[in-house]
Amino acid sequence: MIYDYLIVGAGFAGSVLAERLASQRDKKVLLIDKRGHIGGNAYDFVNEYGMRVHQYGPHIFHTNDRKIIEYLSQFTEWSKYLHRVMSFVNGIFVPIPINRTTINMLFHRNYSTDADVQTFFDQQKEYIAEIRNSEDIVVSKVGRELYNLLYKGYTKKHWGVDPAQLDPSVCSRIPVRTDANDLYFNDTFQMMPRNGYSEMFRKMVAHSNIHISVSTPFLDVPSTTYNKVIYTGPIDEYFGFMFGKLPYRSLRFEFETIDKEFYQPVGVVNYPNDYDYTRITEFKQISGQRGQYTTIAKEYSLESGDPYYPIPNNMNSAKYRLYDKESKKLSTVHFVGRLATYRYYNMDQVVAQALSIFDKIATIQ
């Protein structure tokens, strides 16, 4: 068989496009992934203790886009989950993003109004005429002491570079609050697939027009077996690193199951300073499961390994633009997703991008 499309990567971008092309355009799709499963980094499974675990770190679904929820709801039911994160500093757990409670706990204050906290921030923050990087964005909002306590160490461990070497967008993703709201996200829709991401992906690609082949590298597929390509892997790898490698951060996880109902106060706790790991996830808190045991994962950020995050700064963006220019010369290849477009996208943004690409493809066929 000659497939209409070879889709490289069975994460959100690849699976959404496979589903749309198969179900809406009656296209024959070969969906491959070099890993031994579909679902990309959102892959989850139930371990021997009955806990639903995210193999590649916590994936919390949140969006303000109702159309994204309506689309994904074809393949899953949802469980409401409001994500809370704390940071372990000065021997105590404090809410992240910074809020009124964070300030009261760290600085031994008793603020009760938004105005009190805003006045505190105004006294702490530094005036910076031109915001050039992630250090500037934080220091200009909350000052250097909070930056050093909660941002600098964590960001440097996670990204492998000082916040002063990262685009402002990295740290500006995290809001700063003057009220007592302790939710990590502000989005209207905050929820988890009721039976896990893996089941959602299985239903998404369960179409007679889609053939799935896992543990299959891109270069192992003969070019004579497909007409067009949708590529969701690292764009520099596709072009043989002709302009040099784009830097990505990788992750390593240490999983542990403990004979204890709960290990920590919330689903994710950040460790910004004196620890090798960046954070600990307790999956029971995210899935809403109950039981005698709880499974945690300590997360370590690495310079090499499977690519997880593009590193946003001016130098890397300039190199990416060289690859992007090459990609536009290819009429039969579409580059989609976090790695292929070198963007630090959330899951809903990847789904939105994939649906947008499908609409473009559909109009030219």
Edge-to-edge strand ranges of the sheet holding 61-63:
61-63, 189-193, 78-80
Q: Is residue 188 part of a domain?
A: no
Is residue 215 domain-shared with residue 91, that is, in the same domain?
no
Q: Is residue 15 part of a domain?
A: yes
pLDDT at residue number 83: 97
Among 172, 188, 219, the domain-final residue is 172
Is residue 138 domain-shared with residue 94, that is, in the same domain?
yes
pLDDT at residue number 42: 97
Is residue 140 domain-shared with residue 211, that is, in the same domain?
no
The pair phi, psi for residue 229, each rounded to 5°, is -125, 135
Mean pLDDT of all residues in 214-233 = 96
Is residue 127 domain-shared with residue 211, that is, in the same domain?
no
Tell me the pLDDT of the chain averaged across its residues. 95
Mean pLDDT of all residues in 217-224 = 95
pLDDT at residue number 365: 58
What residues make up the domain containing 144? 85-172
Distance of alpha carbon 31 from alpha carbon 37, whole angstroms: 11
Helix axes 197-204, 12-25, angle to 10 degrees: 30
What confidence tens digit (pLDDT) does each residue in 277-288 have?
999 999 999 999
Among 172, 191, 226, the domain-final residue is 172
Q: Is residue 66 part of a domain?
A: no
pLDDT at 293 over 70: yes
What confidence tens digit (pLDDT) does each residue in 84-120 have?
999 999 999 999 999 999 999 999 999 999 999 999 9
What confidence tens digit (pLDDT) does each residue in 247-259 have?
999 999 999 999 9
Q: Is residue 74 part of a domain?
A: no
Is residue 168 domain-shared with residue 20, that is, in the same domain?
no
Q: Is residue 116 part of a domain?
A: yes
Closest CA to 213 of 76, 5, 10: 10
Q: Is residue 298 part of a domain?
A: no
pLDDT at 304 over 90: no
Q: Is residue 167 part of a domain?
A: yes
Is residue 93 domain-shared with residue 162, that is, in the same domain?
yes
Is residue 235 domain-shared with residue 321, that is, in the same domain?
yes
Residue 239 maps to which CATH number? Answer: 3.40.50.720
Is residue 23 domain-shared with residue 160, that is, in the same domain?
no
Distance of alpha carbon 318 from alpha carbon 295, whole angstroms: 41
Is residue 22 domain-shared with residue 168, that is, in the same domain?
no
User: What Rg do the C-alpha atoms of the chain give, in angstroms?
Assistant: 22
Question: How many domains does the chain divide into?
Answer: 2
Is residue 13 domain-shared with residue 162, that is, in the same domain?
no
The angle subtended at Cα 175 by Cα 173 and Cα 178, nearest 5°, is 175
Is residue 229 domain-shared with residue 145, that is, in the same domain?
no
Among 116, 148, 172, the domain-final residue is 172
253: left (phi over 0), alpha (psi -120 to 50) or beta: beta
Q: Is residue 221 part of a domain?
A: yes
pLDDT at 362 over 80: no
pLDDT at 341 over 70: yes
What confidence tens digit (pLDDT) does each residue in 166-189 have?
888 888 888 899 999 999 999 999
What confidence tens digit (pLDDT) does each residue in 117-140 have?
999 999 999 999 899 999 999 999
Distance of alpha carbon 181 from alpha carbon 117, whole angstroms: 13
- Other beta carbons within 10 angstroms of residue 314's beta carbon come to 11
